[in-house]
Structure 1
Amino acid sequence: MSSQPPHPALLIPGPIEFDDAVLQSMSHYSESHVGAPFVSTFGDVLSNLRKLFQTTDPASQPFVLSGSGTLGWDQVAANLTEPGDEALVLHTGYFADSFADCFETYGVKATQLKAAIGDRPQLDEVEKALREKKYKVLTVTHVDTSTGVLSELKALSELVHRVSPDTLVVVDGVCSVGGEEIKFDEWKLDVVLTATQKAIGCPAGLSVLMASGRAIEVFKARKTRPNSYFGSWKNWLPSKTDSLYTYLPQSNRLAVMQNYEAKKASYFATPSPQLIHALDTALKQILSRPLDQRFADHRNASQTVKKAIANLGLKQLATKPENQANTMTAIVLPEGVTPPDVVPSLLKKGVVFAGGLHKEIASKYIRLGHMGVSVTDPDRSDLTKAIDALRESLAEIGQA
C-alpha cells in the first residue's frame, strides 16, 4: 500500500510513477558531498550503472551529472566532436531534430537520415549514407518519445563497425534505459545517454551517461578544447587541472568520476546528494531481480497495452511490430478527435496521458507511458485503469 497522497496515475512517457522507497530516499538528511558516507553511496551508484548497462569493461566510464537527459547531448557534442566534424543522426521523430540542433550549436554538421513518421531508417539506407561520407559519430534514438518508435541497436552497431569502423555509435536511451534491453559491451556501443525520471524510476534531475573506452580515447585525442565547462569531461576525468578543494589528497583531486566509484572523496562541481540517494535506491531495486525478467515485464505490459488499443479499434504511430517500443505507446486518435477531446476526461478518471509531440501530427495522437513501477509492481493496476479510462472517454464522445 503506497504512502503517497492520492493522485492521478502519471502514465506519460516520463516522468513516471515512483516507488515509495525511492521518494523516501529523497528526504535523506543533508550531508557533505565529499564525506565518506555520501561518497560511498555515489560509488555504489556508479558501480550499479555498469550492471544496468551490462558493461564489465574497465575502460568504459559512467558519468552522473546534475541535469536533464538533454545534458547528455551536450556532453556528446562538446566532448566527442569538434567544429567541422560530421554527425549522422538517424531520425525517428522530434528528438532527432533536437539532437541535430545540439550538434549544430557546437559547430558540427549534422546530417539527418529520416524515415516516414512511425518508421525508422533501414539498415541499407544507413549503409549507403556511411559509404558516402565519413562521420565522426552516428546517433540513434533508442525509443523516440514523440513517436513510440523503437530502433534496433545490435544490428545497427554491427553495420557501423563493419562499414565505418571509426564512427562512434551514440545512443539516446532517455526513454529506454531500464525498460529496453541494452548490452553495452556485447553490442559495441560507444555512448548511451539517459536520464533518471523514466524507466530507471527516479525523480528528474540527473543526467546519466556511459562512455566506452574507445569514446574516451577519442575525447583525449581531440585537437580543440571542449566548448562546454560544466559538461566537459576534462573536468570529470583525470587531468592536470587542480581542484579548489586543496585539502584533499592530490590523488583525489584529479579523477572525479573514477574516485567516486572507488569511494574516494573528489570534487569538481557539487552533485545532488538527495537525488543520488534516490538513484541508489532505484538501481538497487532494479538489480534485485535478473535484468532479463525486468525487460520481459516491460515487453509483456507493452503487448497487453497494444492488444487493448487494437481492441478499441485504434492504431499506433509505429505500425510495424518491430518498430514498437516496450516503454510507451503512441496512440492515433479516431478521425476528427484531438488530444483536448480526451486528455481532460482521462485526468478526471484518474490517469494522466500525454498529448502528441511530433510537430507534424501533434493534434492527431496521444501517448501512454508504461514503464517502471506501473509495470513491475504487481499490486498496481495503473495500466488496466488507463485502458478502462480511455475506453470510457472515447465512448463519451461517441467513439466507442
Structure 2
Amino acid sequence: MSNQEPHPALLIPGPIEFDDAVLNSMSHYSESHVGAPFVKTFSEALKMLRQLFQTSDPSSQPFVISGSGTLGWDQVAANLAEPGDEALVLHTGYFADSFADCFETYGVKATQLKAPIGDRPQLDEVEAALKEKTYKIITVTHALSELVHRVSPETLVVVDGVCSVGSEEIRFDDWGLDVVLTASQKGVGCPAGLSIVMASGRAMERFKARKTRPTSYFASWRNWLPSTFPHLLSVPGLPAFQQQICKSWENGARLTTPPVMQNYEANKPSYFATPSPQLIHALHTSLSQILSRPLDQRFADHRAASKKVKQTVADLGLKQLATKPENQANGMTAIYLPEGLTPPEILPNLLKRGIAAKYIRFGHMGVSVVDPKRDDIDRACAALKEGLSDVGYKKAE
C-alpha cells in the first residue's frame, strides 16, 4: 500500500493519484538545470516519451515545457498556424470551445464542427467540412487521421490527448499524426506542471516554412529549437540580434539560438527558460514505470477498469454522458445523476467513504488502475452505490 499521508483517493480526470516513487522523485535535492546529472535525466525522459507515443521517426520532436496542458494549445496555435489561417475544431465538449478560443487569440479562424453532448461529429460530416474549404489544422480528441489524409492531405492532424495519453493507445507513426499534446498530471502519472507535446517531422517542416514569426514568446518553438529561418528577415519588428542570426545562416555560418530540446535529448546542456528539475525527475520515474511492462498490457488494464466502472453505473440504472461505447473513454466515465439529485447531495456521501469527487466525472487512470495493491476503483464503485442508497435512491424497475 501507499506510504503517503492518509487521504481520500482522488478519482477525478486529473490530477490523479501518484505513485510513492514518483512523489519521492519530487523531493530530489536542488541541482543545476544545465548540470550533467540533470541533463542525463531529461535526455532519458525525452527518449522515453518517444516510446510512449510510439514514434521512431527521428524527424519528430518531443517538447517538455513547464506549464499546464493548456500551453500545448498555445504551442499549436502559435507555431503551426498563422493569422488568417483556418482551423477545424471537432467539438466534443467544453475544451473544444477553449481550444477554438486559443486559435482566435492568435488570429486563426476557428470553425467548430459540433455534435450533441455525449456524441461526436460523424465521419461524413468531417469529410464534408474538409471538402468545403482548406484547413491548415484539424483538432480532435482522438484520431481519425486516415480520413483527413485521404480528403485533405495538407491538413495537419492535431490530437488533444490531455486526458488520453497514458491511458489510451496512441500510435503516432502508424496513424500519421502530426501533433499530440498532453499534460503531466493525467494518464502520464506525474504531478501537474509540464506541457508535453510530440510533433511530427511534417509539423516541423510546416513550422519552418511559416512566413510570419510566432506571436508568442515562451510558447514559440523558435526559442526551443534552432532559429534557422532567414526568410523572417522581412518581418517588421524582428529584433536586431535575431536578424543577425538569420543573416549568419544566409552566409552559411552556424551562429544560432541553442536547440534546447534537441540538445537535452542528445545529453547536452542548453538553455532558453529554466525547466523544473524536480518535475522532470518525477516524469522520468513515471515513464520508467510505464515502460517497465508492455504498453498493450497497460492499455488493457485501463479498458478493464473502465468496463468495471461503466458496468457499475449501468447496474445502478444511471445514464452516462456518452451513451455509445465507441464514444466512451477508458480513462474516465461521466455520469448523469438520478432525476432530483444534485452533486451537493451525493458528493458528501462519497467523501465520507474516502473518495474525493468533483462533479460526477469518475477518473480511472494511472496508478489507481495499474497497481494491483491499490483498491481505489473498487472502493469508489462501492462508495457510489452506498452514497446513492444513503440519499434514498432506488433503481427504477
> Is TM > 0.5 for Structure 1 vs Structure 2?
yes
Paired position in structure 1 for 2:120:
120
Task: Work out whether 1:332 is the aligned partner of 2:320.
Answer: no
2:227/2:256 contact within 8 Å kept: no
For residue 39 of structure 1, give the secondary structure of its aligned residue in structure 2: helix
Look up the match of 1:367.
361
Which of 187, 192, 211 is matched with 2:175 structurally?
A: 187
> Higher mean Cα deviation, 232-241 or 383-392?
232-241
State which of 368, 388, 392 in structure 2 corresponds to 1:394: 388
1:254 to 254, 258, 283: 258
Question: Among 161, 166, 170, which residue is 2:158 paired with?
Answer: 170
Aligned pair count reads 372
Q: Does 1:202 align with 2:196?
A: no
Larger Rg: 2
1:232 partnered with 2:215: no
- Closer, same or farther in 2 for the Cα pair 1:252/1:5, shift >3 Å? farther
Shift in CA distance, 80/252, structure 1 to aligned 2, threshold 3 Å: closer
Counterpart secondary structure, 2:335:
strand
Relative to structure 1, the CA distance from residue 168 to residue 225 in structure 2 (aligned partners, 3 Å threshold; closer, same or farther) is same
Cα distance in 1 for residues equivalent to 2:257 and 2:140: 35
Distance 2:323 2:125 in 1: 20
1:251 and 1:297 map into 2 onto residues whose CA distance is: 49
Q: How far apart are the structure 2 equivalents of 1:126 and 1:256?
A: 37
Q: Which moved more, 1:341-350 or 1:261-270?
A: 341-350
Other structure's SS at 1:337 match: coil
- Where do residues 81-120 of structure 1 align in structure 2 (5 Å cutoff)? 81-120=81-120
Q: Is the 8 A contact 2:52 2:166 kept in 1?
A: yes
Could you list the per-position Cα deviations for residues 359-382 of structure 1 after superposition, in whole angstroms to 9, with x for gaps in the alignment? Answer: xxxxxxx10000001000011110
Offset at residue 49 of structure 1 (A): 0.3
Indicate conservation of the 8 Å contact 2:223/2:257, yes or no: no
2:264 maps to 1:270:
no
The AA in structure 2 aligned to 1:26 is: M
Paired amino acid for 1:198: K
Q: Find the counterpart in structure 2 of residue 382 from structure 1.
A: 376
Q: Deviations over 1:134-163 (max 9, x none)?
A: 100000123xxxxxxxxxx1xx10000000
**CA deviation after TM superposition for structure 1 residue 2, in Å:** 1.3
For residues 159-208 of structure 1, the C-alpha deviation after alignment (integer angstroms, 9 at most, x for no partner) is 00000000000000000000000000000000000000001100000000
CA contact (8 A) 1:252 1:259 kept: no
**Which residue type is aligned with residue 164 of structure 2?**
S
Alpha-carbon RMSD across the aligned residues, in angstroms, is 1.3
Question: SS at the partner of 2:111?
Answer: strand
Partner of 1:362: none
One-letter code aligned to 1:368: F
1:298, distance to aligned residue in structure 2 (A): 0.2
| Aligned mates of 1:251, 1:61 — CA distance in 2 | 21
Distance in 1, matches of 2:123 and 2:358, equals 31
Deviation, 1:252, is 9.6
Percent of paired sites with the same residue: 77
Q: Hey, what does 2:3 align to over in structure 1?
A: 3
Distance in 2 separating the partners of 1:189 and 1:177: 13
CA distance in 2: counterparts of 1:31 and 1:371, whole angstroms? 31
Q: Please name the residue that 1:13 is paired with.
A: 13
Asked whether the 8 Å contact 2:226–2:256 carries over to 1, the reply is no
In the alignment, is the contact (CA less than 8 A) between 1:252 and 1:264 conserved in 2? no
SS at match of 1:193: strand
User: Which aligned runs of 4 or more in structure 1 are off by greater than 3 angstroms?
Assistant: 240-243, 250-253
Residue aligning to 2:295: 291
SS in 1 for 2:87: strand
Equivalent residue, structure 2, for 1:147: none
Cα-to-partner distance string for 1:199-224 (whole Å, 9 max, x where unaligned): 11000000000000000000000011
Equivalent of 2:322, from 318, 321, 327?
A: 318
Q: CA shift at 1:354, angstroms?
A: 1.9
Contact 2:350 2:384 in 1 (8 A): yes
Q: Distance in 2 between matches of 1:342 and 1:107?
A: 43
Aligned to 1:215: 203
Contact 1:253/1:266 (8 A) holds in 2: no
Task: Note the alpha carbon deviations across 1:261-293, whole angstroms, 9 max, x for none.
Answer: 000010100000000000000000000000000
- TM-aligned CA deviation for residue 341 of structure 1: 1.2
Report deviation, 1:251.
8.3
The answer to whether residue 337 in structure 2 is matched with residue 343 in structure 1 is no
Offset, 1:253: 5.5
TM-score, reference length from structure 2: 0.92
Q: Is 1:76 matched up with 2:66? A: no
Gaps of 5+ in 2: 229-241, 246-253
Equivalent-residue separation in structure 1 for 2:321 and 2:101 (angstroms): 24
Query: Does the 8 A contact of 1:18 with 1:373 survive in 2?
Result: yes
